[in-house]
Structure 1
Amino acid sequence: MSAFWWTTASVTIVVVSLATLLVLRSRRGRSAYQLERARQLFHLRREVLELQFLQSASRLGKPRGLAWEDCHFEDEAAFATDPATGQLRAFVSVAVRFQVAEGGGLEDAPNLDTPRAATAVFLFDGRQWTTQGRTVFNLNPLETIERFQHGLEGVD
């Protein structure tokens, strides 16, 4: 009788292990498919997202005393996920040009006509891409991901 229980327990362990392995593999495949779908959607909606970014960033009022005049977006995007939430993010290099805001007190500021290098941040909620106008100045997309590596994992 003891041999029967040992055999049953062994078979159960093998079956559970195989089932777990299959589930993990299917999730990884599904995850790769979802990532590719999200990337395609990002590129399809790129122009709309750029406009939304510029409008949102302009409303934030940062940097103080300056108004967003123009924003040039580079073609390439870097992608990363937030390991805590699994949320996918896209990072795009931008060159931002500012003008002095009325009453901003920066009328005599030098180098206002020089574009500032920054990274625009976009978020994917599982269905669509959005932006809140978040900008990381003085870092390119890969540097941004590296800088926030405790909260981001790069995606190939």
Structure 2
Amino acid sequence: MSPAELIAIGAPVISIAGFALWFRGRRSREERRAIQEFRTQRERLEAKFFDLAAASGKPRGLRWVNCDWGRDVTFARDARTSLLTAFVAVEIQFEAVEGGDMEDVDAVGTIRDASAVFHYQAGQWGTGGKALFNMNPQEALKRLTDQFEPIESQPAGGDNLS
């Protein structure tokens, strides 16, 4: 091969490889920044989650009483949209709505384990008040393995990132 042919073939390959490395580094920086922001905003995000979930009317016939937040957080990236997602361990307590269908059900007072869902979009963490019941954050990620890719890095602070 002539030097011109090597350059013609090599230049695009090197350019593509360089772009891939740049993109990977950019994505990693975004993940680190987002995780740090989650830590600093966590209390506000938890309060927002509770307000939205309590106002949703779900589960029907139950009123949200309390959320006891666990330390366990699992971060992942949505495979379709690339949005960063945080699954946070939470124990949720309900009470029956007076006059509702659940008023005579003994299990209403049972504390429910769940994973609260948060998303990072356009540089901001937010929540829709969605809870994945009967699963901790690791179980949520395992069950949703087709939808989410775990974030493999482990930053300081002890959050579980996979």
Query: Structure 2 length as normaliser, TM-score?
Result: 0.89
How far apart in 2 are the matches of 1:68 and 1:96? 8
Q: 2:8 aligns with which of 12, 25, 28?
A: 12
Which deviations, in whole Å up to 9, do the C-alpha atoms of 1:20-62 show, x marking residues without a partner?
A: 1111111111111110000000000001000000011111111
How far off its partner does 1:88 sit? Answer: 0.5
How far apart in 2 are the matches of 1:24 and 1:75? 34
Task: Name the structure 1 match of 2:73.
Answer: 77
How far off its partner does 1:19 sit? Answer: 1.2
How far off its partner does 1:95 sit? Answer: 0.3
How many residue pairs get aligned? The number is 152
- Higher alpha-carbon Rg: 1
How far apart in 2 are the matches of 1:38 and 1:71? 24
Structure 2 unmatched runs, 5+: 153-162
How far off its partner does 1:85 sit? Answer: 0.9
Paired residues for 1:70-109 under 5 Å: 70-109=66-105
Instruction: Indicate conservation of the 8 Å contact 2:102/2:108, yes or no.
Output: no
Which deviations, in whole Å up to 9, do the C-alpha atoms of 1:49-106 show, x marking residues without a partner?
A: 0000001111111111101000011122101111111001000010000011133221
CA RMSD between the two structures? 1.3
Paired residues for 1:125-136 under 5 Å: 125-136=121-132
Report sequence identity in percent: 36
Query: Structure 1 length as normaliser, TM-score?
Result: 0.92
Paired residues for 1:19-34 under 5 Å: 19-34=15-30
1:111 correspondence with 2:104: no
